[in-house]
Structure 1
Amino acid sequence: MSAFDPLADLDPAAYAPFRDPRDYILSWTDQIWIDKGLGRLGEHYADDIKVHTAYGETYDFDHVILNSVQKMSAFPNGGGGSGEDVVWEQRGPMGFISSHRVLKTGTNLGYWTYGPPTGRNWVSRTIAHCLVQDGKVIEEWLVRDEYAVLQSLGIDPERVAADMALASPVTGETMAIADDAGPFAGRYPDPAREGVSGKRPERFDDLCNQIVAMYDEVWNRRRFDRVIDYCDPKVVCHTVRLHRAQAIDAYQQQIIDLLAVFPDGRIEVRDLVVCESSELGTRIAAIWVLHGTYSGVPLYGPPTRTPVKVLGATHFEMRDGRILREWRLFDEIAVLAQIIGARNAAATR
């Protein structure tokens, strides 16, 4: 491992009073969710924070508070989750991007967005991709495995998705996903150098180019045979609904099965973050969008032959320059909502 110091050019005020950006993220998560210091969110988030999700986006701190209070009521014994990793990288002398992977658990003991308490336990993962400047989160890309939540609670995903097709649980407005809005806005032709979080340091350009090439070759050009060139033979991928694929064949099949749903699907990488440490090795975080047409296998009901956008987040753990472990998340309920919305639109024509 090299002697590179990721803190060398980062002003300590960017993450004060904590030891480093990793400690900043994990400590704030504990103070807000475990200690229930929800009112301290103002110390952590900027007043005009932008939060991007697959359902829409919000632009102020009040929405964060409102949604968080509801979740604390619904899951009094959990909801904040346990931090699995923080992949961070500098963005200017007073800023950094943090991709925080969380394993969430809890018991649904109170009323929530989806209705009365079920009394059931749930487990799911979330990745929060946060841009921090001057000690506060100013922008966030949030990807949840909401299907796993509903599955655990015994709630019908199609019913929830149908409701969401009419009104987003985040914004309260009709879902309207456009190419030029929210997490889909703009284009980043060279994400290895600059993505949604800004320009990257040059140190890890080769690794970032390798990840971009993997998405282009394996996913976009359907060279599933090239997985072996990018992944360790013992690769393990954890993905939505807590599914797991181990070794090359299963990893290939997992990609093939998703693309079979969207046969013309293409991955667009929108951000990359690289973090290296002597304790945890090299990890890479990615924000991506899959653009495709729901015209393949009917995983989400009868094909609509309409466009779908899938906002995703991935963490890679590298070993000897290859992917050893991957955590790949996207919100299937948001995908279902787009498909059901297309069906509703066709029925009214």
Structure 2
Amino acid sequence: MFADDHLSPGAYAPYRDPRDYILSWTDEIWIDRGIGRIREHYADDIKVHTAYGETYDIDHVIQNSVMKMSAFPNGGGGTGEDVVWEQRGENGFISSHRVLKTGTHSGYWTYGAPTGRDWISRTVAHCLVRDGKVVEEWLVRDEYAVLQSLGLDPEVVAADLAAASPVTGELLDLGAGGAFVGKIGNPAVEGVSGKRPHRYLKECELIQNMFEEVWNQRLFNRVNLYCDPKIVSHTVRMHREQTIECYQREIINMLAAFPDGKMEVRDIVVNESPDLGLRIAVIWVMEATYCGVPLYGKPTYSPVKILGTSHYEMRDGKILREWRIYDEIAVMAQIIRARNNTTAINDR
């Protein structure tokens, strides 16, 4: 089945389908520079979840977009690599839009004066659309890759974020908001975006089992049960790995910094199309303690929450490619804040 016949055209009108809706709006806002048209695309009370907290106001979206367009005037909306969408009710759908972004830092940004350098990174916008408007969004960026490209010190930026987020203007508080709290019983049936259609349950189960066995139970030897021998993994900082052995090592390396980390799948989206085949998008959260290898400086033995997303391209029932994205700068900010709090207590 390549389409859901029960989705009302009003959910994505006047576009051809949900994929065209997402890609066309991205171009109209960023390529055509119609920032003000965000009001036509987003609900007034849009709820945006990021690794830095929650916002509930369309004005934040517009203001931040204007600042970003000034800083990166040739950045545009990036290149849409894929839109994995699925129905959510008669008049709605969830869209997981993976974007490869590039640009030149030629204007002032929250990170400071223009560097004149080019940058490249990936972003995933996981958007819930109802009656033609985005009502909720889970936004995940690889911000470390941006800073790496611009030659900026991630430690310095993360230290600033530890006090206040330049994205939301609010205190960094990962304990608040729907991105991290609330229990999900079975995301194959109902996740944070709502109830799924009763289909592709076998594929959802495969992804859930992979997270539970490989990530949570540390059964790295079972990767070959879920992945094609030619598995390709695209991860943060624009890293790319290929083959089962490299895929195993990449997971182990992430867990080495957070050896007690547990993954929770919070949303699953499945889409199959004649041109792109079967793809699965997942929103996940890792809860852990920074008590392992000193990837981000000396361990603080403090709790860390990581909001991430993965896109999977499937072939013959196995994962052929994965794109895994999370914001390492937000992770570092949590660690630095814990380190600063400990120092302040010791100095009393």
TM-score (normalised: structure 1):
0.98
The answer to whether the Cα contact below 8 Å between 1:191 and 1:272 also exists between their aligned partners in 2 is yes
The aligned residue for residue 142 of structure 1 is 139
Match for 1:295: what amino acid? C
Cα distance in structure 2, aligned partners of 1:162 and 1:15? 41
Match for 1:39: what amino acid? G
Cα distance in structure 2, aligned partners of 1:137 and 1:7? 20
Q: Shift in Å at residue 252 of structure 1?
A: 0.2
Of 78, 81, 94, 2:78 maps to 81
The aligned residue for residue 314 of structure 1 is 310
Distance change in 2, residues 1:264/1:256 (3 Å): same
The aligned residue for residue 334 of structure 2 is 338
Cα distance in structure 1, aligned partners of 2:282 and 2:166? 25
List structure 1 runs of 4+ shifted beyond 4 angstroms: none
Cα distance in structure 2, aligned partners of 1:132 and 1:123? 28
Look up the SS of the partner of 2:329 in the other structure: helix
Cα distance in structure 1, aligned partners of 2:7 and 2:170? 39
Of 267, 270, 273, 1:271 maps to 267
Q: Note the aligned Cα RMSD (angstroms).
A: 0.8
The aligned residue for residue 35 of structure 2 is 38
The answer to whether the Cα contact below 8 Å between 1:103 and 1:126 also exists between their aligned partners in 2 is yes
Q: Shift in Å at residue 79 of structure 1?
A: 4.1
The aligned residue for residue 101 of structure 2 is 104
Q: Shift in Å at residue 176 of structure 1?
A: 1.7
Distance change in 2, residues 1:182/1:165 (3 Å): farther
1:152 aligns with 2:149: yes
Gaps of 5+ in 2: none
The answer to whether the Cα contact below 8 Å between 2:2 and 2:271 also exists between their aligned partners in 1 is no
Deviations 1:292-345 (A, max 9, x none): 100000000000001100100010000000000000000000000000000011
Identity of aligned residues (%): 70
Q: Shift in Å at residue 170 of structure 1?
A: 2.4
Match for 2:146: what amino acid? V
Look up the SS of the partner of 2:248 in the other structure: helix
The aligned residue for residue 210 of structure 1 is 206
Look up the SS of the partner of 2:306 in the other structure: strand
Match for 2:330: what amino acid? A
Deviations 1:149-171 (A, max 9, x none): 00000111000000000001222
Cα distance in structure 1, aligned partners of 2:53 and 2:329? 13
Match for 1:17: what amino acid? P
1:304 aligns with 2:300: yes
The aligned residue for residue 68 of structure 2 is 71
Match for 1:120: what amino acid? R
The aligned residue for residue 57 of structure 1 is 54
Cα distance in structure 1, aligned partners of 2:310 and 2:206? 15
Q: Shift in Å at residue 6 of structure 1?
A: 1.8
Match for 1:259: what amino acid? L
Look up the SS of the partner of 1:78 in the other structure: coil
Look up the SS of the partner of 1:140 in the other structure: strand
The aligned residue for residue 261 of structure 1 is 257
The answer to whether the Cα contact below 8 Å between 2:2 and 2:274 also exists between their aligned partners in 1 is no
Q: Shift in Å at residue 123 of structure 1?
A: 0.2
Look up the SS of the partner of 1:64 in the other structure: helix
The aligned residue for residue 181 of structure 1 is 177
The aligned residue for residue 288 of structure 1 is 284
The aligned residue for residue 112 of structure 2 is 115
Match for 1:92: what amino acid? G
Deviations 1:152-200 (A, max 9, x none): 001110000000000012221221221x533102110211111000010
Cα distance in structure 2, aligned partners of 1:114 and 1:182? 28
The answer to whether the Cα contact below 8 Å between 1:56 and 1:170 also exists between their aligned partners in 2 is no
Q: Shift in Å at residue 82 of structure 1?
A: 0.7
Cα distance in structure 2, aligned partners of 1:182 and 1:71? 25
Match for 1:226: what amino acid? R
Cα distance in structure 2, aligned partners of 1:232 and 1:318? 9
Of 228, 232, 243, 1:232 maps to 228
Look up the SS of the partner of 2:136 in the other structure: strand
Cα distance in structure 1, aligned partners of 2:290 and 2:332? 10
The answer to whether the Cα contact below 8 Å between 1:270 and 1:288 also exists between their aligned partners in 2 is yes
TM-score (normalised: structure 2):
0.98
Look up the SS of the partner of 2:179 in the other structure: helix
Cα distance in structure 2, aligned partners of 1:273 and 1:111? 37
